[in-house]
């Protein structure tokens, strides 16, 4: 057979260059590999931080994503629906006892202040004179209202009422807690809706 194709061209790279296994390693520090970019990255830099990206990083002018200013956030109000299913009688008794004591002290102080104001206005003297004239006679001077409604006697009477109020209020509140527990077992108790504003 005869060769009819003629002389073939020789490629210089393959003819003169070394084989891939016989090549010497490249000298110098090996940097990160940056693939070629088909399109230029925005701002004149590359995604991988190439020549332009490194310049941008050195200058501190990295592009940041700005938040949208048109969106408005409305505060949400959290609500919780709770049910008072049981009231502890012992805690109800303690709280009602302290509250009734405070109410009794306020009653005594209010009675003392009211008596002083009425005495300074001359109410007891005027009313007492009218009552003594109406109930008096030629032999007796009549009923003395000022001595009957003296300040110590008024304070003692108010203190007795305050003590009775403490006992009754504590007992009624404790009894009311027992009654509430019995009724809550049938109807489920009082429902409350609690809201929290943010």
What is the residue-wise DSSP string for 56-123? HHHHT----PPPPSS---PPP-EEEEEEE----HHHHHHHHHHHHHHHHHHHHHHHHHHHHHHHHHTH
Instruction: Give residue 110's pLDDT band: very low, low, confident or very high (50, 70, 90).
Output: very high
Instruction: Give residue 195's pLDDT band: very low, low, confident or very high (50, 70, 90).
Output: confident
Statement: residue 97 has pLDDT above 90? yes
Give the least confident one: 4-18, 81-95, 119-133.
4-18
Both tokens of residue 102? 């405070």
Main-chain dihedrals φ then ψ at residue 105, nearest 5 degrees? -65, -40
By three-state DSSP, how is residue 194 classified? strand
Looking at residue 98, its pLDDT comes to 96
CB of 78 within 8 A of CB of 195? yes
CB of 54 within 8 A of CB of 32? no
Q: How many whole angstroms separate alpha carbon 15 and alpha carbon 9?
A: 11
Instruction: Give residue 192's pLDDT band: very low, low, confident or very high (50, 70, 90).
Output: confident
pLDDT in tens, 52-90: 444 444 444 455 565 565 556 666 778 888 888 889 999
Statement: residue 164 has pLDDT above 90? yes
pLDDT in tens, 144-162: 777 778 888 889 999 999 9
Q: How many whole angstroms separate alpha carbon 25 and alpha carbon 23?
A: 7
User: Per this entry, what is the length of the chain?
Assistant: 198
Q: How many whole angstroms separate alpha carbon 108 and alpha carbon 156?
A: 9
If you average pLDDT over every residue of the chain, what do you get?
A: 75
């Amino acid at each position: 057979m005869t060769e009819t194709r003629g002389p073939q061209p020789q490629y210089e790279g393959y003819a003169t260059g070394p084989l891939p296994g016989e090549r010497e390693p490249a000298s110098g520090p090996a940097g990160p590999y940056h693939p070629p970019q088909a399109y230029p990255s925005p701002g004149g830099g590359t995604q991988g931080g190439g020549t332009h990206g490194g310049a941008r990083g050195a200058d501190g002018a990295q592009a940041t994503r700005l938040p949208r200013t048109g969106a408005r956030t409305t505060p949400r109000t959290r609500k919780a629906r709770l049910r008072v299913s049981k009231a502890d009688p012992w805690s109800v008794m303690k709280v009602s006892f302290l509250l009734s004591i405070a109410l009794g002290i306020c009653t005594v102080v209010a009675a003392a202040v009211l008596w002083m104001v009425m005495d300074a206005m001359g109410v007891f003297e005027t009313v007492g004179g009218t009552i003594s004239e109406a109930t008096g006679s030629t032999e007796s001077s009549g009923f003395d209202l000022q001595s009957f409604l003296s300040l110590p006697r008024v304070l003692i009477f108010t203190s007795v009422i305050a003590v009775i109020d403490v006992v009754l209020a504590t007992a009624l509140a404790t009894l009311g807690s027992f009654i509430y527990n019995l009724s809550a077992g049938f109807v489920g108790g009082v429902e409350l809706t609690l809201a929290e504003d943010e």
